[in-house]
Amino acid sequence: MLTVALDATPLVGDRTGIGVAVAGMVKGLARRSDLALIGYGLTGAGWHKVRAHLPAGVRPARARMPAGVFLRLWSRVPFPVIESWTGPVDVVHGTNFVVPPARRAERLVTVWDLAAVRFPELCTATSRRYPHLVQRAVDTGAWVHTGSRFVADEIVNHFGVDPDRVFVVPPGVEVDGKRDHPRRSGPPYVLALGTVEPRKDFPGLVHAFDDIAGDHPELELWIAGPPGWGESQLSAAVAAARHRDRVKRLGWLDDPGEVLRGAAVLAYPSLYEGFGFPPLEAMAVGVPVVASAAGSVPEVTGDAAMLVAPGDAGAFAAAISTVLGDEVLRSSLVERGYRRVEAFNWEASSAALHRAYLEIAATR
């Protein structure tokens, strides 16, 4: 029986992409009978929430681990060690850029993207601390997990990691198996999902929508997701749009499924992505995708999305208009989307992570 300590902090709060990925990861691993899981949380006041979100079969760590204090310590010294909170474990898996030092356990750190390296001006101060912590971890023997080959290559090149120490295990996507999702009545809308941050380029999407709104008089643009550090740019773009009355801000949605199923198109205009859940979630419910060819997006979407150059609002507008007006293309994208999403399932992801844990533990 392999014992793994896993950072469950991303289970708490609004579920952005990392939260969704870690939730699926923990749930899938918890179902395995050959794995003992211990969930820890890099949080002080939120520790009780982390404990409440642990699925059955996951034992909580002994106490809270205040993130501010620990991150400052771990950026300089290799203690305190994780075993002080979990007891002896074979592997400790830091699921969100940070892996604690350990006394005997092998360490695995998940690096979802290199946005803080590639586009630090688009990131928060907290995110800009991650590259140093990742570098320190790999320099002291940590292994690396990521969700795409694109990011794996970036990790090898930037951090100088041996490629054999990087595991590419994509997350899964929940699929209900239906292909006859009912469509919402009312005006058609283009949907965007994500935190309002600069690298999502929602202002560019507003410009693209404004370009085609006159040709599609009923079309609306819906933007769903929690507010972030790109609010001022998005608000300015909406205020300047000629068709601003047809741009709707939905805010955070606990379950975006119904809104997603009703969309005419899922728009994903990111300037950079390490994986990207929304395109796959749209494919799973038969919604065609128009996305930027940024970061790992082409790798993840394969031939099942219409891709355009990042930051090109004119090209994005033309692509959306084409998908709306070409029923043959639309049907083809939907069918290819159903096939593409089958490659991303949690059972396969959990099995691959378990194999990685076994390989890592065998090196102790």
Tell me the mean pLDDT per 10 residues along the chain, length 364.
96 86 96 96 92 96 91 90 96 97 97 95 89 95 98 98 98 80 78 95 98 97 93 96 97 89 97 96 96 98 98 97 97 97 95 97 92
> Which residue type occupies 138?
V
Q: What is the pLDDT of residues 59-68, one digit of tens each?
A: 999 998 998 8
219-249 burial code (b ≥16 CB/10 A, e <16): bbbbbbbeebebeebbeebbeebebeebbeb
Confidence at residue 350, expressed as pLDDT on a 0 to 100 scale:
96
Crossing angle of helices 313-325 and 327-341, rounded to 10°:
100
pLDDT digits (tens, 9 = 90+) for 1-24: 899 999 999 999 877 889 999 999
Residues of 266-291 as b/e, b for ≥16 C-beta within 10 angstroms? Answer: bbbbbbbbbbbbbbbbbbbbbbbbbb
CA 273 remoteness from chain centre: 8
pLDDT of residue 186: 79
Q: Tell me 163's DSSP state.
A: G
**Do the beta carbons of residue 27 and residue 37 sit within 8 Å?**
no
> In whole angstroms, what is the distance from residue 33 CA to residue 19 CA?
24
In angstroms, the CA 172 to CA 219 distance is: 32
> What is the C-alpha to C-alpha distance for residues 133 and 116, in angstroms, rounded to an integer?
12
Q: Which residues pair with 146 in a beta bridge?
A: 168
H or E segment to which residue 19 belongs: helix 17-30
Residues 6 or more apart whose Cβ sits within 8 Å of residue 161: 138, 144, 155
CA distance 58 to 5: 10
Q: What is the dihedral of CA 328, 332, 334, 339, to 10 degrees?
A: 170
pTM for this model (two decimals): 0.94
pLDDT at 87: 96
The continuous run of DSSP H or E covering 324 comes out as: helix 313-325
Please, what are the domains in the chain? 2-172+345-361 (3.40.50.2000), 189-341 (3.40.50.2000)
Chain segment 82-111, per-residue pLDDT in tens: 999 999 999 999 999 999 999 999 999 999
Instruction: Report d(CA 114, CA 200) in Å as an integer.
Output: 14
* Beta strands across the sheet bearing 189-193: 247-251, 220-224, 189-193, 265-268, 289-292, 306-308
Under DSSP, the state recorded for 46 is T
Give the distance, in angstroms, between the CA of residue 325 and the centroid of all CA atoms in the same chain: 30
Residue corresponding to tokens 């009978």: 33
